[in-house]
Structure 1
Amino acid sequence: MQAVGFHFGLAHPIVDVTFTTLSMSYQEAPDTVPVMQIRTVKQRDIDYEDLTRVDHLVRDILADRMDLAEARAAVAQITSSGHHRNRLAVTAGWGVMCAGVALMLGGGAIVSAIAFTAAVLIDRLQTWMSRRRLPTFYLQVMGGAVATVLAVATAAVDWDVDPSLVVTSNIIMLLSGIGFMGGLQDALTGFYLTAGARMTEALLSTAGIIAGVSGGLALGGVLGVDLGRLNPGAFGLESWPVLALGAAIAAAGFAFASYSPKRVLIPIAMIAAVAILITNGVELAGFGRPWAVATAAFVVGLVAYSVAGMVRVPPLVVVVSAVVPLLPGLSIYRGLSLLAEGGTMTSRGLLAIVTAASVALSIAAGVILGEYVAQPLKREARKLETRLSGPRLVGPLRIRNGRASRKARRQTAGADDTADS
């Protein structure tokens, strides 16, 4: 927003982005009335196809390959056109992601197949509910219930699988690790209001999962199927090749389900596999989980800039998808579920919440530091935070002086008059 406004002649536009609004204002002279536009964010989907198209559009504008009228037409086309990827294929992508995470947790073919099935059913149910404008909390409740009912059905047929592992694998796509990490990243870069809103949404979404899981367990008890005491998220895997394969599948599945271009899927899978191996190696060396995750996130941020440039996508697409296997969503769920039990489990629940926060903070800090180090111009990297208040994961590196002239202002005003008429 800053770069485009500056390029078209707005010398010092004031831009503000919060969790629910985007605003931009400009005052040409001290004695003139400021002009302000505010847009309300009503829906926050993860859509990397539209993000990539907008990123390319901004670059075309700053390179003078597109004038104001053409840019407005391009924005209208992006916002009105659909996706090239079929919605059922996106549902399958969520299933593949959950199957990959189940593989990371130590689940075999049966657990991975159940996780795939659960993800497909949950995605279709939540899509149907969201079209009827139900709040996200209720979507999470129903998703958790569906995941647990599938685990109850698995226990009823007496398959030799761990019910806790089945439930954990089934709720993977519902977990809010990305929102929690994004909130801490906003806090690190100075957006405290948005950070609080993001973390509140993450905790509320996780509470919805807990409510749905408890409802599914109650239904199982009524039907005479006892899953026993669940131990969500307490799993590990010693086989490094399987761990890397699961991370690669999960990251690529997430990227595909988020409408990322196909050309970026293989690089994301490779980066995610390397990141999980780095995490495991550093943790086994005795440095602890937060430092292990921070090291891996730093490597992801370091290579994301170059990889994104080669495949022509914003670095954000590579970064978020590659750190999906590292996200602390399970720790958040485990902590809140133990807190809900109360009693002696309260201290363990608080410990899990603190662990989740430290891991999320490590990911955010590692990615930001890696991205800063990766900037090709050290002078621009030092000034980046003061100008954009955060890492350049989307948008141009250099804000050019462009057309800050009377001619540009006349062109902008003329285009506005034409559009109004």
Structure 2
Amino acid sequence: MAEQSEVAHTLDLSLRIGEMLLSNGAGAADVTATMHAVAHHLGVRNPIIDVTFTSMSISYQSIEDDVPLVMMRQVKQREIDYEDLTRVDHLVRDLLGNRIDLAEARAAIARLSSSGHHRNRWAVTAGWGAMAAGVALMLGGNPLVCAIAFVAAATIDRLQIYMASYRLPTFYLQVAGGAVATLFAVAAAAAELDVDPSLVVTANIILLLSGIGFMGGLQDALTGFYVTSCARLMEALLSTGGIIAGVSGGLSVGSVLGVSVGQLEPGASDLTTIAVMGLGAAICAAAFAFASYSPKRVMIPIAVVAWVAIMISFSMRELGLGRIWGVAVAAFFIGLVTYSISGRIKVPPLVIVVSAMVPMLPGLSIYRGLALLSEGELIATGLLSLITAASVATALASGVIFGEYVAQPLRREARRMEKRLAGPRLVGPLRTRKRRSGRS
């Protein structure tokens, strides 16, 4: 590097790119690798990068006698924003492809971090409602159940926006969401509508679970970032605890009023049920992607992947392999195909992976466990349901990551690239070294 100011600008660009990736759901390994790639491409060799859950730092010392240059940034807010994630991914690819220079990249990342969304916020609220309606349809709900789930989800979203404006922690937002979902179900039961109100609770539990970072936490653990992994998983557990508190409170209110929401018992499956289940999963996944500001071009591929995945999960369960293995195999399929699909439609694999997994989140098991515990009977069965929910979440994340491990080396092998990979890349360009020629 010729000048100290250029080094400072390079480190600052790397930090800003890393901040946007981490705040929008990227794993610590992907963030670190992307920051390294940007710094190395711009001439900064061997910077020291440290990424944690709430902050990141980068330092560089050109020669041993120089004073090291150290920069830090804090990750102050987190939200699922796949539009920004995709734009940053494209920015990094343009920079590494020499289509833009350092100054243009710094200007672009400044615009990205300060600009809003093109998608209207009420449209996003409608997307969350459509997602909950899709879950209700997937679980066998009739049109009235889907409509109630839609309204409940939209109400939860607007309430959480209002509460967030007062800077309340996420835990309290989750408590409010769980309570609202359950109170809608209690109201439907009290009105004696021709619905299964427990479906409304389940649909909105999945809505609330969709933003929890199980995926990022397990990816960080598998790629060696244990501190960041523990922080992500702690946040996920705390958010889930908020849902538990909210749903339990709502069920208690129903019990005091003498209204029983009831237990959900899935009926016998036939071809019609399978078709409706697949349609509900496709709607749920595509709606989640829409509500998360994903580019419109990914909606159909995500819907197709989610439809196939839910069919795989259902078929595995019908063969007697159990729910956990069915979910794990379906998640493995998602990870296996996502790498190729994301390359064709030019989005990070993370956008497709998380969206396609959402229909399989264990909302039903959580609801059953909470309902049993709130009634004070069959406590062991309730705890077993909650343990099953945790097992399903683990199977989803580990299955997807293993699918990415398999898919990415297979594609590189076809291009005669090296086999070694520290971890599956869900965000950022895949940079590999040229294969060394063997000895003759």
Distance 1:49-1:28 versus aligned 2 partners, 3 A rule: same
Q: Structure 1, residues 305-340: CA drift from partner, whole Å, max 9, x if none? A: 111111111111111111111223443454466567
Q: What does 1:254-273 correspond to in 2, within 5 Å?
A: 254-273=288-307
Which residue number in structure 1 is paired with residue 57 of structure 2? 23
TM-score (norm 2): 0.83
Q: Determine whether 1:357 maps to 2:394.
A: no
Q: Which SS does the other structure have where 1:24 is aligned? A: strand
- The letter of the residue matching 2:424 is P
Cα distance change of structure 1 residues 350 and 181 upon mapping to structure 2, 3 Å threshold: farther
Choose between structure 1 and 2 for higher RCO, CA contacts under 8 A separated by at least 6 residues.
1
- d(CA) in 2 for partners of 1:16 and 1:329? 35
Which of the numbers 360, 370, 377 marks the counterpart of 2:412?
377
**CA distance, structure 2, for counterparts of residue 157 and residue 21 of structure 1:** 50
In structure 2, the partner of 1:348 is 381
2:330 counterpart SS class: helix
Give unpaired runs (5+ residues) of structure 1.
402-421
Alpha-carbon distance change, 29 to 336 in structure 1, aligned in 2, over 3 angstroms: farther
Matches within 5 A, 1:195-274: 195-221=229-255, 224-227=257-260, 230-231=262-263, 235=266, 238=269, 239-274=273-308
Q: Which amino acid aligns with 2:241?
A: A
Contact in 2 for aligned 1:106/1:237 (Cα 8 Å): no
* 2:168 matched residue in structure 1: 134
Per-residue deviation at 1:104?
1.2
CA distance in 2, matches of 1:30, 1:392: 33
Matches within 5 A, 1:288-327: 288-327=322-361
Are the aligned partners of 2:202 and 2:363 in contact in 1 as well (CA < 8 Å)?
Answer: no
| Ranges of 4+ aligned residues in structure 1 off by more than 6 Å | 340-343
2: CA distance between counterparts of 1:179 and 1:336?
21
Preserved contact between residue 333 and residue 403 of structure 2 (Cα < 8 Å): yes
How far apart are residue 400 of structure 1 and its match? 7.5
What is the SS of the residue equivalent to 1:391? coil
Q: Which moved more, 1:67-76 or 1:147-156?
A: 147-156
% identical equivalent positions: 66
Cα distance in 2 for residues equivalent to 1:29 and 1:240 = 65
Conserved in 1, the CA contact under 8 Å of 2:92 and 2:428?
yes
Per the TM alignment, residue 391 of structure 1 is displaced from its structure 2 partner at its CA by 1.2
Residue 10 of structure 2: aligned partner: none
Equivalent residue, structure 2, for 1:4: 38
Letter in 2 for 1:79: S
Q: Which residue of 2 aligns with 1:410?
A: none
Structure 1, 17-26 or 254-263: larger mean CA deviation: 17-26
- Partners in 2 of 1:381 and 1:210 — Cα distance? 46
